[in-house]
Amino acid sequence: MYLSKISQELQLISKDTIDKVFETARVEEVIGDFVQLKRAGSNYKGLSPFSNERTPSFMVSPVKQIWKDFSTGKGGSAITFLMEHEHFTYPEAIKYLAQKYNIEIEETITTDEQKEIANEKESMYLVSEFAAKYFHNTLLNTEEGKAIGLSYFKERGFTSETIQKFNLGYSPNIWDAFTKEALQKGYALEYLEKTGLTIVGEDKQFDRFKGRVMFPIQSMSGRILGFGGRILSQDKKAAKYLNSPESDIYHKSKVLYGIFQAKQAIAKQNNCYLVEGYTDVIQMHQSGIENVVASSGTALTPDQIRLINRLTKNITVLFDGDAAGMRASIRGIDLILEEGMNVKVCTFPEGEDPDSFAKKNSFEDVKNHLENSSMDFIQFKASLLMNDAKNDPIKKADLIRDMVVSISKIPDRIKREIYIQETSKTMEISEDVLFNTLAQISQKEIQELGKKQKEEQKEKAFEVHKNEQTALQNSVDIQYELEHRIIEILLLYGTKTEEFEDTMLALNENGETVEVTEKKEYKVFERIFLSLQEDEIELSNPSFKSIYEHVIEHFTQNQSFELDAYLNSLSVDMAQQVTSILMNDEKETLHNWETKQIYVKDKTKSVSQYVTETILTLRWFWVNKIIDELKQEITPENDNSEYLSTIMDYLGLTNVFSKKLGRVISRHN
């Protein structure tokens, strides 16, 4: 959720609607739906929803209409809270608030083609949402639904709350019951067919999911994309499970069942349990384990892994106790490793699966099993395949090579080396042999090793040179230069996708506060937008402010960014300013920036590092201005406790910035 995915939806929302949402939404009301807030002077405080803490450091200001989480540095408006906490896109956050405050969404379309595409997709969403409500109502309020569908779910052990949470339903065992109802309600047959809910023949139409219990499949933001249906009759010719066909809104390789219900728990627990089926997800949720999703019986895909990657770097794959099934499923592990994620595996006793195990055991027992039985993929492969290979040298060699192939998929060289050492111990084979095998699989690894060492030496030399230049820093207008650099970054790299580090405070097993770092992908402009929102930063230079607002709006409303076309869309004055900024980049050198206390790496080497250090320096500078302004409010005759408390919180943030920048920052006066 972040401003991450540029969506067609934004082009449908008019500026008047967006303005009305910003004017109406109250940050304390929006956040109050998710965080328990208590009055603290003129503000509200609560426990951070982004980290595990015992002392409240999450502040909401009704006067300024902003929030600040001092444990993580996050902050901003009601919109950015929804993007951070609910993982909404920008358009999804706008629509959520519009619905909350009963604001009618006015649409604006630029071309007939866009309108046709948007209307078609929206119609398919509306049909799917109607179907979900129809199936749910049929389950709960009809004799057939209660006798067959509801009885089945109750037999599985699902409570009424669970049935409601997952919007479970039932499709009547009549050929066209749903289709007739939808047509009578005014839904077009064209969209019933395109969503796959209705199969249209030459002279008749009938329901795809006739006589099945229904599992709605939702997007991360909660929209109904499609359905899974399980037949309850003994008809051997019919498939046990049936999914919606591929459509403009449903691509099974890009969705995960349960992601909507699990997203907050995944982000908070910093781990995602991956299972196979719908009932596995539902039963685990009911047992209290909510950070769980399913691939819905399909082979795991890179798109599904990247969906989880938006929320966490850690995946634990839960396998049934069926060895043959496990062998068929371990291919997905290599895909997870390729995406740079950390993967563990947890198996259940023979004859058990996540559904049956969660149903039979208490929350504590399930939790303990998941924690104690999870193993890394090396241990898992060895334990799974070693029995077959132990008396056969050829099979054992193939198994070892299979492990090294998996290790070669890991992008991080340090992790690869650790896993080679682990494999060496587990399989009783020398590390040298394993490293030679790894080199054969990936020749370029050895070549890059020397290059990396040279880069590290250059890096150290750069740091020494950087420190020598700090004496010249005070003669420069820091804020002007930083804002200039922000605009330059947006114009040069705005739509580039980069991996950024997020750092937060959490409690370890001993109750000590420690820093936890996780990596997430953002587009550069998204990262800048969210970061500046965290401290309610507005660029002070009028020209930069104007360009910033214009280019951010352009990025959020367009799929691509072509500089020539963008310049042509600007006024003559703004086009000249943009051109001047871009040309300025050609003549400046890094050592000039070091004299201005702006320490950034070579942009061509690490755009994410360059962006992060620029933003952190600007945020550090801005927070110190806030501290100075708060100090001005302190007077001997008044109660200054609230000001002093806020100053201490912001001073804590400057320490966070110092650590992140990797240097000691001296304040400007």
Q: Which CA distances in Å does 430 have to 30, 404, 410, 427, 498?
A: 58, 13, 20, 9, 37
Whether the per-residue pLDDT at 663 is higher than 50: the answer is no
β partners of residue 346: 318
What pLDDT does 505 receive? 54
Count Cα neighbours of 38 within 13 Å in the Cβ-side half-sphere: 6
Dihedral pair phi/psi, residue 546, rounded to 5°: -65, -45
Is residue 620 located within the same domain as residue 510?
A: yes
**Which of 100, 131, 160 is where one domain is finished?**
100
What pLDDT does 189 receive? 95
Q: Which position has the higher pLDDT, 656 or 610?
A: 610
Is residue 78 located within the same domain as residue 126?
A: no
The mean pLDDT value for 611-626 works out to: 82
Mean pLDDT, rounded, of the chain:
79
Is residue 552 located within the same domain as residue 652?
A: yes
What pLDDT does 513 receive? 54
169 inside domain: yes
Is residue 66 located within the same domain as residue 148?
A: no
Is residue 438 located within the same domain as residue 547?
A: no
Is residue 221 located within the same domain as residue 157?
A: yes
463 inside domain: no
Is residue 219 left, alpha or beta, with left meaning phi > 0 and alpha meaning psi from -120 to 50? beta
Is residue 491 located within the same domain as residue 611?
A: yes
Do residues 595 and 472 make contact, with C-beta atoms less than 8 angstroms apart?
yes
510 inside domain: yes
327 inside domain: no
Q: Which band of pLDDT confidence, cut at 50, 70 and 90, is reported for residue 580?
A: low
What pLDDT does 114 receive? 59
Dihedral pair phi/psi, residue 215, rounded to 5°: -120, 100
How many angstroms separate the CA atoms of 523 and 600, rounded? Answer: 19
The mean pLDDT value for 370-379 works out to: 88
The mean pLDDT value for 471-486 works out to: 65
Whether the per-residue pLDDT at 424 is higher than 70: the answer is yes
How many angstroms separate the CA atoms of 581 and 566, rounded? Answer: 14
What pLDDT does 354 receive? 94
DSSP string covering 148-204, please?
IIIHHHHHTT--HHHHHHTT-EEE-SSTTHHHHHHHHTT--HHHHHHTTSEEE-SS-
Is residue 66 located within the same domain as residue 203?
A: no
Over the stretch 276-287, which tens digit does the pLDDT of each residue have? 899 999 999 999
Is residue 387 located within the same domain as residue 477?
A: no
**Four-point Cα dihedral 617, 621, 627, 632, nearest 10:** 180
**Which of 221, 249, 277 is where one domain is finished?**
249
What pLDDT does 612 receive? 82
Q: Which position has the higher pLDDT, 637 or 431?
A: 431
For residue 341, give the 3-state DSSP assignment: coil
Q: Which band of pLDDT confidence, cut at 50, 70 and 90, is reported for residue 665?
A: very low
Mean pLDDT is lowest, of 244-258, 470-484, 549-563, for 470-484
Is residue 416 located within the same domain as residue 487?
A: no
Over the stretch 105-148, which tens digit does the pLDDT of each residue have? 877 655 566 556 667 888 999 999 999 999 999 999 999 999 99
**What's the CATH number where 206 sits?**
3.90.980.10
Nearest to 10 by CA among 84, 95, 83: 95
265 inside domain: no
27 inside domain: yes
Whether the per-residue pLDDT at 236 is higher than 90: the answer is no
Is residue 54 located within the same domain as residue 151?
A: no
364 inside domain: no
Do residues 534 and 75 make contact, with C-beta atoms less than 8 angstroms apart?
yes
How many angstroms separate the CA atoms of 655 and 653, rounded? Answer: 5
**What's the CATH number where 65 sits?**
3.90.580.10
314 inside domain: no
How many angstroms separate the CA atoms of 595 and 468, rounded? Answer: 9
CA angle 90, 96, 99 (to 5 degrees): 140
Is residue 500 located within the same domain as residue 431?
A: no
Helices (H), strands (E): how many in the chain? Answer: 30, 18
Question: Which range of residues forms the domain containing residue 38?
Answer: 8-100
Over the stretch 279-334, which tens digit does the pLDDT of each residue have? 999 999 999 999 999 987 678 888 899 888 878 889 999 987 665 556 656 778 88
Domains held by the chain: number: 4
**Which of 396, 424, 442 is where one domain is finished?**
442
Mean pLDDT is lowest, of 67-76, 179-188, 508-517, 620-629, for 508-517
